[in-house]
Amino acid sequence: MYELIQVAKNTYYINCPAKIGIYRVSDDDVWLIDSGNDKDTGRKVQKILEAQGWKLTAILNTHSNADHIGGNTLLQNRTGCAVYSTPMECAVIEHPILEPSFLYGGYPFQKLRSKFLMATPSVAQDIAQAPLPEGMEIFPLPGHFWDMFGVKTPDDVYFLADCVFSQTVLEKYHISFLYDVAGYFQTLEFICQLKGALFIPAHAEPTEDIRPLAEANRKKAEEILFLLCRLCETPLCFEEILQKVFQHYALTMDPAQYVLVGSTIRSYLSYLLDHGKIESTIEDCRLLWHTALSPAND
């Protein structure tokens, strides 16, 4: 864990729970792609960079989940590096309380205000203003979070952030966090069309062919949609649906999983409602979800 792995002439990654990309612009100038989950990771990253004689110029945060921005504060304070992301993600990077607030739907109680869901703040700038290294490209990856993006280095290596998860994660946890299900399906289709030397998802092993993993993630999402339609054959309120989903997949509920899985299930319900697969009604002061009598075709 936390090994520096070179995958191309100037492209590296640090093998950790949320893989951190490194692009070497010159002999001593590097850019990071994400920064890990906390200050301890930041320290480890700094130690790795110093051992190579590299100076950190900037961090590209693909999105603002705490496990991708947690090292920002320490690294920015110690090196003065710039931090860049998209405007919506910058808002969370600078005001991390927004992440647990969004997930919970109100002011988050103390157990939700942990480093797992809420990083320390850092100063972020719009990626549109970033002086990207020559030949580096960014591209949108909607679905997982507000305005996530991926990075292609000049070595033809793609860093894909959280748009796919490993087969092991899918089999163990089943429900990976999603904000926009329609955008997610678009992203899976998009990455299957990419041509590159190597693809590096944050939570899966690097691969020369991303299509099998994209297909596995798509099938899991479709499985969840089918499950929700089946559960809603009997009208249910959200808490009942969430309970049945946890029971179906034998998941363990704690406050963090309650908000992460809960928010994702709400996104799936929105997708099904918008596509005419389920309906919602208010009865006896409860919002109920139920399978549509005549489901619309996609």
Q: Domains along the chain?
A: 3-136 (3.60.15.10), 225-291 (1.10.10)
Nearby residues of 152 by Cβ (< 8 Å), 6 or more positions away: 136, 137, 138, 139, 158, 159, 196
pLDDT of 294: 57
d(CA 72, CA 37): 9
Alpha helices (H) in the chain, listed in sequence order: 39-52, 66-69, 72-79, 87-94, 98-104, 167-173, 181-192, 211-231, 238-249, 255-274
Cβ 274 vs Cβ 287: under 8 Å: no
Give me the tens of pLDDT residue by residue for the chain, a chain 298 residues long: 899 999 999 999 999 999 999 999 999 999 999 999 999 999 999 999 999 999 999 999 999 999 999 999 999 999 999 999 999 999 999 999 999 999 999 999 999 999 999 999 999 999 999 999 999 999 999 999 999 999 999 999 999 999 999 999 999 999 999 999 999 999 999 999 999 999 999 999 999 999 999 999 999 999 999 999 999 999 999 999 999 999 999 999 999 999 999 999 999 999 999 999 999 999 999 999 999 875 444 4
pLDDT of 292: 85
Strand order in the sheet with 55-60: 3-6, 11-15, 20-24, 29-33, 55-60, 82-85, 125-126
pLDDT of 17: 92
pLDDT of 295: 46
pLDDT of 293: 73
pTM of the shown model: 0.94
Nearby residues of 148 by Cβ (< 8 Å), 6 or more positions away: 62, 63, 86, 89, 140, 141, 142, 161, 162, 163
d(CA 92, CA 65): 8
Cβ 277 vs Cβ 296: under 8 Å: yes
Structure tokens at 57: 């110029």
Beta bridge partners of 4: 14
